[in-house]
Structure 1
Amino acid sequence: MDKLSSEIVIDILSRLPIKSLVRCRCVCKSWFHLTHDMHLIDTHLSISSKNEIFTGLILKSSIPIHRTCWHSKLSFVHNDGTDDYKCVNFNLSLPLLHNYEIMGSCNGLLCLFDPIVKYLTHILNPCTGEFVFLPDPIRDLEDPVSVVVGFGFLPKMNVYKVVEIVYYKREIVDDDNDDLRSNVYVYTMGDDNSWRHIGSSPYSLRGRYFSEGFVDGAVHWVSSGYDGPKLVDRIVAFDLENEVFRVIPHPDFDSGRLNYTLGVLQGCLSATRFKVQDYVEIWIMKDYGVKESWTKCLKIVCSEVGLMIGAVRPLLFQRNGEVMLQHGGTLFCYNPLTKKLRELRISGMPRSFKAFIHVGSLVSPRKLLKCESTEFA
């Protein structure tokens, strides 16, 4: 290896799975410094993002410590190029953050948030163990009713942004009978390391907590609100670059009052509609923002698969053509050709969890904020 140029070494290492690449840090001092080189980090992330073999799942589960206290735990499900999946548990201890929620996964980084007690936000790389705290936004003195969070990366600007929509009780209810007011804050990592207040949200997102899909530079939620006297559902997007809200057209189906959820499939915004004990439809918006580009890519009929499924979250399409789904605390694989549904059993997987698509990387949240942080072995 000493006879190889640094460019060749980087080209070789950039093609390794993240677990092997992290182990390379223990080989010698030169490799330790090499795995912190931005060229290797960027090259590895670019290759991993395009290669579905390196795409895995982050599983967030909670275990009870005592009656009123729970502790969150992270696991990583991935394959090694074969059809066999493995589950690896992360042994992480995040200060002041115990029962948190995952607000988003982007380029190997997780945005973690405590929605109940402290309203703390962490940016974590679970594969390297590095994390940073984000300071609290400048909020009113009163406690918020709820906080909605979005997280994403803007490649043109080469920055990560976090948006928080904070809801408070109104002292006087307005003409729209809305008893809540909102403040919107944006944090640009590595900018000035501070939150900016950009106004209020024109749409009600309370109770959503995390964004349901980061696509085309925007985070998305399903919102319910009034259009005149009629109560309607909308797909609300927040453009992280221009820092504005807008409405994205939904597929041509009767929404049935929030009986669909959003996600990302094959790099596109997806909408999953379900009718309990009847069927599940998965739609993909192939041309972002264009209503006519919504395409129904598959329909799962409960009577055909022999399972009365309801709220299903599609996670990813696999190389063999199957789509991986989460139903409750179980992972399933559905084959659209044979119309068969099989449970995916993985050793070491928690009994109850919520899954997020995740690509492992060496991206350092500490370097993004240009400050010191903690790194676990």
Structure 2
Amino acid sequence: MENQIVAKIPTNISLELQQFSCLPDEIIIEILLRLPVKSLLKLRCVSKSLFFLLSSSQFMKSQINFCVKECKDVNFRLVVAVGKMCNIYSLGLKFGEVDFPLKHPFGSCKFLGSCNGLICLTPMSFKLMLWNPCTGKYKEFQDSYVQSVGSCYIRYGFGYDVVNDDFKVVKIFSFAIDEVKYENVVKIYSLRGDSWKIGEGFVSGYMNAQSGVFVNGFLHWEVSDCRGSGDCSEIMTLDLATETYGVMGFPNCEKGNVSWGLSVVGGNLVACCNYYPNRTDMWVMKEYGVEKSWTKLVSLLSPFGRMGYISPLFVSENGDEILVKLGTDISLYETRNASYKSLEIHSAGYRLQVQAITYIESLASPHVGDDW
């Protein structure tokens, strides 16, 4: 969230809290914002004053804002879905045990995006879901379709519209015009309105990624000149606030048989240039929207015998360790000795069904006006 939101304690609550603390209201808020979400959930049971304060939309926005801008490695989580099982792992310099399993029986799901602590996924056919793994709250809603003749390719995107204080899901239906161009019909779901609407359509090349990457209020998809071509020509962007489109260039890289992939690491847009089967160059956009700020972060050597392209999930604060999805495996890459260590978090029988996404713990609610 880009706008700074500072929670204020209502007068009646402030007076009651002062009976238990000699600290000013501003200090109390700063302390509360730094507590883990699970601790905040417990504190709401201490008194009515804390319940109403910690349940207020103002405090929730302040907590999300603080979490997005100030949180460290330890607050990140990795969600891995393997078949019908979904587990959550803690991230940091040392990767810990499972925090807790996902109780809701999603079945075989597909992650579509993560933003401000919420994950968008498809738990089953004809349904979509927004889910906060930290609080356990979720919201199911109907997927959207268009009447058409012939087949089309489906692309999704999920992010937050800071101007209208709204989470949005974007669904793109791509119909082939010829071997190069596609006509795209767009539908947009608003969490605040709990409804779908028709967005502005556009014509483009083939959109490679099934899910767009959300950074700085924009969704991003890599676009190639034709289907099956790994050599992407540009990045297509969608501003969720204005619902308008734009284009962005990739970093300058070596010529050859390459394939681009997009992701987000540390709040920055990351472009991975895959030189199959030798290596992957990981580029980060230091200043959003400025193509000259593309900077090569690291070259990751492809391990022998592994299939699939490398996609980064997380980079440690010192940059020595990079968590990657390598085909169907989740591995930790050590930059100092260019070695991989598989996390071995799934069995070989489910290799083709592995889904992985990172998120930050927050109080974000999938329900508008929710008081927890």
Cα gap change, 1:333 to 1:237, in 2 (>3 Å): same
For 2:45 and 2:318, locate their aligned partners in 1 and report how far apart those are by CA, in whole Å: 36
- Equivalent pair of 1:279/1:309 in contact (CA under 8 Å): no
Which of 83-92 and 151-160 deviates more?
A: 83-92
Does the residue aligned with 1:13 lie in a helix, a strand or coil? Answer: helix
Cα gap change, 1:359 to 1:234, in 2 (>3 Å): same
For 2:75 and 2:191, locate their aligned partners in 1 and report how far apart those are by CA, in whole Å: 25
2:366 corresponds to which letter in structure 1? P
Equivalence for 1:21: 40
Cα gap change, 1:99 to 1:307, in 2 (>3 Å): closer
TM-score (structure 1 length as normaliser):
0.77
Equivalence for 1:42: 61
Shift of 1:262: 0.7
Equivalence for 1:187: 189
Aligned pairs for 1:98-247 (under 5 A) are 98-113=107-122, 118-137=125-144, 139-140=146-147, 145-167=152-174, 174=177, 176-177=178-179, 181-190=183-192, 192-205=193-206, 208-211=209-212, 213-226=213-226, 233-247=233-247
Structure 1, unpaired ranges of 5+: 64-70
- Equivalent pair of 2:87/2:98 in contact (CA under 8 Å): no
Does the residue aligned with 1:315 lie in a helix, a strand or coil? Answer: strand
- Equivalent pair of 1:103/1:150 in contact (CA under 8 Å): yes
1:55 corresponds to which letter in structure 2? N
Query: What's the CA shift string for 1:8-35, capped at 9, x where partnerless?
Result: 4433222112233333345455444433
Shift of 1:257: 5.8
Is 1:355 aligned to residue 356 of structure 2?
yes
Cα gap change, 1:309 to 1:340, in 2 (>3 Å): farther
Equivalence for 1:78: 91
Shift of 1:150: 0.6
1:341 corresponds to which letter in structure 2? S
TM-score (structure 2 length as normaliser):
0.78
The CA RMSD measured in Å over matched residues stands at 3.4
1:120 corresponds to which letter in structure 2? K
Does the residue aligned with 2:202 lie in a helix, a strand or coil? Answer: coil
- Equivalent pair of 1:233/1:255 in contact (CA under 8 Å): no
For 2:298 and 2:188, locate their aligned partners in 1 and report how far apart those are by CA, in whole Å: 37
Equivalence for 1:259: 259
For 1:25 and 1:205, locate their aligned partners in 2 and report how far apart those are by CA, in whole Å: 49
Amino-acid identity (%): 24
- Equivalent pair of 1:233/1:258 in contact (CA under 8 Å): no
Shift of 1:283: 0.9
Structure 2, unpaired ranges of 5+: 1-16
